[in-house]
Amino acid sequence: MNDEKDKLWPMLEKLKVSLKSEDRELSGKPLMKRVMQTWLPASSALLEMMIYHLPSPSKAQRYRVEDLYEGPLDDQYANAIRNCDPDGPLMLYVSKMIPAPDKGRFFAFGRVFAGKVASGMKVRIMGPNYVPGEKKDLYVKNVQRTHIWMGKKQDAVDDVPCGNTVSMVGLDQFITKNATLTNENEVDAHPIRAMKFSVSPVVRVAVNCKVASDLPKLVDGLKRLAKSDPMVVCTIEESGEHIIAGAGELHLEICLKDLQEDFMGGVELIVSDPVVSFRETVLEKSCRTVMSKSPNKHNRLYMEARPLEHGLAEAIDEGTIGPRDDPKVRSKILSEKFGWDKDLAKKVWCFGPETTGPNMVVDMCKGVQYLSEIKDSVVAGFQWASKEGALAEEHMRGICFEVCDVVLHADAIHRGGGQVIPTARRAIYAAQLTAKPRLLEPVYLVEIQAPEQALGGIYSVLNQKRGHVFEEVQRAGTPLYNIKAYLPVVESFGFSSTLRAATSGEAFPQCVFDHWDMLSSDPLEANSQTAKYVAEIRKRKGLKEQITPLSEFEDKL
């Protein structure tokens, strides 16, 4: 590092490190990097560590089967995964879609847990929304070819047995991001549990084409982008906007570059400024039971809202508790871990939004006639309302809605979905607004490495951006400090460049989504910070800036 090359060359000779003539011209950090790469290459060290320390599939699957398989752990499929059985039924998990060199098609890349997959074989594809016993998200198709990836190239093979990774051609039209594959006649197989990501797509941009005639290319490009990156979420808003949601500013930048250059052939795009997703929640139990009447005034729905217990929303996000669980197991977890009443824990109707989100509907009614007939309509109204909350039409989070009582018309024709779904939605909004509604903002965990002289600049930038440091540790044997801080995602745009400017480029930040944090001010109070955020979101979505008043949702007897 001190350019004392006369001492360096004899040392390298003793270590048997030989450098190319062009590498000998290097100096300082690039020279040190090249010497270390030649002397201790990371590839061979990592490969050796993998060989010595990572368990083989036959060993690992024995104790990992309970985390992998969603069905009963004593059926033939679980046993085949447990024993890594090449003669058992095929169980294959596709974890990602890899774009093919011709840009038009995708390889379905995954791992064979049991059985073997062969070229020309018919397989049963169970998508992420597949429910055992139903036909939704289920396909039976042929695998055209099987390949093994070897670095950047792939080798075609006839078949791939369990314990190996495989890439398949011909399935990309039926798999969006992930799926479970089994033999076509294995109708009672359950899917392998989908991967959970530690980050959430909380930063969004709207994209549009400069030339209107390129719109079909944009739609097709977004579909292919969603396939190629398991983290990105592409949606179309009611206003017709095409939205791309990513984990952060840099992730979105990469996604937009891929979309424009790889999937759309260089078509010019108009990209909006990045916006942040918020969540809506409640602070306490509803101050009263609210009532909404159906459009024909013959049905009444009484509801209350309350916040979910601490840690329950996170448990639902992580998949510890969910709609696919055995109701007995779920009620046991709710009563033992979260202090729910045992009878109440058995009466969970659904989760939402998207049937898996961190909000719940619970039935508190006693002796109500025809209740089972309107359950599906109430659930549909809840899915609609929890996806578009009363404050700013953002997703709800951490709210439990209790159906306290229901008064229904005796004739089935007067209590159909058209009457009950909008009533349930209005009752849910009214319950939310009577339970001290609040806004949640996403927060990054930021790790910064910097020398001591840069600490002042780091603290001042974090203070400007509403961040706060919760850990500062000096790395042993170095002049560097490791700083951990929380930073609101809203304030994170341009954070890296501001930090580098304040520390003369000596601080290196890394951001990852960590949690949702409640904004302390009341969104219903005029001129509060949260009310300003709500007004901005509503304006962006083309809604009235004022929150719809409670009287619009609640009816009087």
Residues of the chain with CATH 3.30.70.870: 203-277
Residue 270: exposure state from Cβ atoms within 10 A (0-12, 13-18, ≥19): exposed
Predicted pLDDT at 205: 86
- CATH class of the domain at 439-518: alpha beta
* pTM, rounded to two decimals: 0.71
d(CA 328, CA 350): 15
Predicted pLDDT at 452: 84
Residues of the chain with CATH 3.30.230.10: 299-433
CATH architecture of 57-183: Beta Barrel (2.40)
Total length of the chain: 557
CATH architecture of 203-277: 2-Layer Sandwich (3.30)
Question: Cα-flanking dihedrals φ and ψ of residue 24, to 5°?
Answer: -70, -20
Peptide bond into 230 cis (omega under 30): no
d(CA 155, CA 167): 10
d(CA 500, CA 504): 6
Q: Which amino acid is located at 164 in the chain?
A: N
Predicted pLDDT at 359: 92
> Please, what are the averages of pLDDT over each run of 10 residues along the chain (557 residues)?
68 79 72 81 86 89 87 87 89 87 80 91 87 83 89 85 90 85 86 76 85 86 84 80 84 88 83 86 90 87 91 85 82 87 86 87 83 86 90 90 86 82 91 91 89 86 88 84 89 84 84 87 86 87 85 84
Assigned CATH for 299-433: 3.30.230.10
Predicted pLDDT at 276: 85
Q: Which amino acid is located at 125 in the chain?
A: I
Predicted pLDDT at 250: 82
Residues of the chain with CATH 3.30.70.240: 439-518
Residue among 80, 109, 82, 111 nearest 189 (CA):
80
Answer yes or no: are the C-beta atoms of 419 and 299 closer than 8 Å. yes
Predicted pLDDT at 199: 66
**DSSP assignment string, 436-476:** -EEEEEEEEEEEEEEEGGGHHHHHHHHHHTT-EEEEEEEPT
CB atoms within 10 A of CB 401: 30
Residues of the chain with CATH 2.40.30.10: 57-183
Residue 106: exposure state from Cβ atoms within 10 A (0-12, 13-18, ≥19): buried
Predicted pLDDT at 498: 86
d(CA 425, CA 384): 7
